[in-house]
Amino acid sequence: MLNTLVRYFNLIVITLFILLLISFSLAYFFPGDPYTNLTGKMLLADTDGPLAAAFREGNVLQQFWYYVQNLTMGNWGHSFSSALPLYDQIFQTLPATLELTFYASTLSLVIGIPCGMLAGFLHHKKTDYTFMSMSMVMVSFPVFWLALLLILIFSLQLNLLPMSGRLSLLYDIPETSGFVLIDIINSSHPDRDAALYDAIQHLILPTIAVSFITTAVFLRTTRRAIVDVMATEYIKTAQTRGLPFYVIFSRHVLRNAMLSILPLLAIQISTLVTNVMIVETVFSWPGVGHWLIQAIYERDYPAIRIGMLLVSSIVVFFAMSLECISRLIDPSRDNKKYA
């Protein structure tokens, strides 16, 4: 138990350190002055702060050290294009991304896992084949193309749903938490219900676009796990003990299937985040992905650096935590090899 925790903690720390190192070296790889690339400010003779001093001296180790120190203090540098502090910008855009990711992954879990179970139990039956071919088609869709297709059909042709943004400009909802639905519910806006309806309409297409592929992946993963568990000796044995199906399912199948699904879901997190970022761009969803792509267009090096660092850290953190949890709740972990 403690062993596993320490192991994963080390793994996360080391990975984050490497990410920091890469983000720092980006400042040198980008064209221009490294100090400017790192902070978004010019290095003048009278710029104060230890980082500026380290750059004037040319001591790379010190530069890295003070860079990390600045990061931990929330001193993330300034954007080239807007000259605003990146810290504030990130925390304005991050909630939108988290919101979209949350809805999309919830939708995928709610649809993908039960359908996968159904397909697994009806292995080699018509339902199974239907689900499998459907999910095969679904995973083959490129995300950006699917997003455009959705816009084309539901926004432009049928005119049912809005094609971009998060909320119509008509509604002026004060941002408190940054999560649009929560903000609307908590606000005292006179047209609160209409705003909520509008926000949900804006959410539908991006959520579908993101969860389309994720659902298919979850479905396939779950189905495989169920089929594997159902074929094991111990399930066969439980059946020969004459236990009713619901007992076998809830006590033996579910737990073992989940134990093998969880680490696979952890791997999917990076795909999920990538898809969210692409979808944000297509739908002009004001999240980190959209913001980062804008930064790349504008060669806003400090923004690119911090965006890349943040997104990769989040992915690493969540993926490893999920894996660590699945390791911790797996009673047979002792006789499995560690990563």
CB of 5 to another protein, least distance (A): 20
Among 239, 274, 284, 313, binds another protein (CB under 8 A): 239
The whole-angstrom separation of Cα 176 and Cα 170 is 18
Q: Could you give the C-alpha distances from 230 to 110, 245, 250, 262, in angstroms and in order?
A: 22, 12, 13, 17
Which residue, 126 or 241, is less far from another protein as judged by CB? 241
Our CA dihedral for 63, 68, 70, 76, rounded to 10 degrees, sits at 110
CA atoms within 13 A on the CB side of 176: 9
Stretch that binds another protein, among 64-72, 79-87, 154-162, 248-256 (CB under 8 A): 248-256
**Of 252 and 327, CB closest to another protein:** 252
Residue 316 belongs to what H/E stretch? helix 301-329
Which range touches another protein (CB under 8 A), out of 66-74, 95-103, 215-223, 327-335?
327-335
Residues 151-210 that bind another protein (CB under 8 A): none
Closest CA to 63 of 53, 72, 71, 73: 53
Interacting residues with another protein between 208 and 237 (CB under 8 A): 231-237
Compute the least distance from the CB of residue 237 to another protein, in Å. 4
Dist CA 59 CA 261 (whole Å) = 47
Of 168-176, 209-217, 249-257, 275-283: span binding another protein (CB under 8 A): 249-257
Please identify, using beta-carbon distances, which residue of 58 and 126 lies nearer to another protein. 126
Q: Of 110 and 329, which CB lies nearer to another protein in the complex structure?
A: 329
Q: How far is the CB of 339 from another protein (least distance, A)?
A: 19
Find the shortest distance in angstroms from Cβ 130 to another protein: 19
Strand partners for 78:
85
Task: Determine if 140 is a binding residue for another protein (CB under 8 A).
Answer: no
CB of 267 to another protein, least distance (A): 21
Q: Round to whole Å and give the CA distance between 225 and 231.
A: 10
How far out from the chain centre does Cα 174 lie?
A: 25
Q: Which is nearer to another protein, 46 or 334 (CB)?
A: 334
Site string for another protein, 251-280 (x = CB under 8 A): xx--xx--x---------------------
Taking residues 92 to 131 in sequence order and writing x for each that binds another protein by CB under 8 A, - otherwise, the string is --------------------------------x-------
* Beta-carbon contacts of residue 67 (< 8 Å; ≥ 6 apart): 20, 24, 38, 51
Q: How many residues bind another protein (CB under 8 A)?
A: 26
Distance between CA atoms of residues 246 and 128, nearest Å: 20
Stretch that binds another protein, among 2-10, 77-85, 273-281, 328-336 (CB under 8 A): 328-336
Q: Report CA-CA distances (Å) from 117 to 30, 111, 130.
A: 49, 10, 13
* Closest-CA residue to 166 (of 184, 189, 141): 184
Out of 72, 140, 188, 240, point to the residue binding another protein (CB under 8 A).
240
Does 246 engage in binding with another protein (CB under 8 A)?
A: no
Q: Which stretch binds another protein (CB under 8 A): 141-149, 213-221, 242-250, 302-310?
A: 242-250
- Helical packing angle, 126-140 and 192-230, nearest 10°: 120
With a CB cutoff of 8 Å and minimum separation 6, the contacts of 219 are 111, 112, 113, 115, 116, 119, 131, 135
Interface residues with another protein (CB under 8 A) are 124, 231-244, 247, 251-252, 255-256, 259, 330-332, 334-335
